Amino acid sequence: MRWLVIILDLMLPDLYGIEVLQRLREWFSGPILVLSVQGSEDDKIAALDAGADDYLTKPFSTGELLARMRTLLRRVVRETPQPVYRFGDLVVDLGRHVVQRGDQNIHLSSTEYALLSIFLRHVGRVLTHNQLLRELGRPAGETPDDVRSAMQYLRVYVNQLREKIEEDPHRPAIIVTETGVGYRCTEP
């Protein structure tokens, strides 16, 4: 099986690379590596929020570019959908929409289940707050109040999900916080 990695420079003559990235994400689910001379944290966050899988600042070595591409391709192979995920005694069967600890079913609300499904589709990857909100169909909004409200919405559901699936919700081992950026689902 062949896999494709798109390498996208943000400095394009006709369109800004972020717009191209957003358009690509409408139909392409494979890995996208962004290259740019723009190395500020805001530029990196914007590209990652728009759907980039990695960001490499120019200048870079050919060896580093090839290593990052190999890493992205390993993730693609590893992310081939698997219907059942196991985290110790927690079992998530996405095919049957069942979450169990031992022989006990765990009831999740539709939003909690959607959030868990998003995390499992991106195991091992950091998902930004904006990515999660967008996939849940609740964009952060424009005003500071809208953004605060959206972030609070996300925090509430992540905490509710942790209460139900983590052995110790105060020291999560499955859904971990990436401070200032978002969350990551650990490898099962």
Domains of the chain are 6-78 (3.40.50.2300), 84-185 (1.10.10.10)
Residue whose structure tokens are 């959908």: 81
Between the two ends of the chain, the Cα-to-Cα distance in Å is 24
Cα separations (Å) of 132 from 30, 59, 115, 161, 180?
A: 18, 31, 8, 14, 14
- Of the pLDDT bands very low, low, confident and very high (cuts 50, 70, 90), residue 101 is very high
pLDDT value for 155: 93
* pLDDT given at position 139: 72
Res 77 pLDDT > 70 = no
The predicted model scores a pTM of 0.57
Handedness of CA 150, 161, 129, 156 (dihedral sign): positive
Mean pLDDT confidence for 104-115: 92
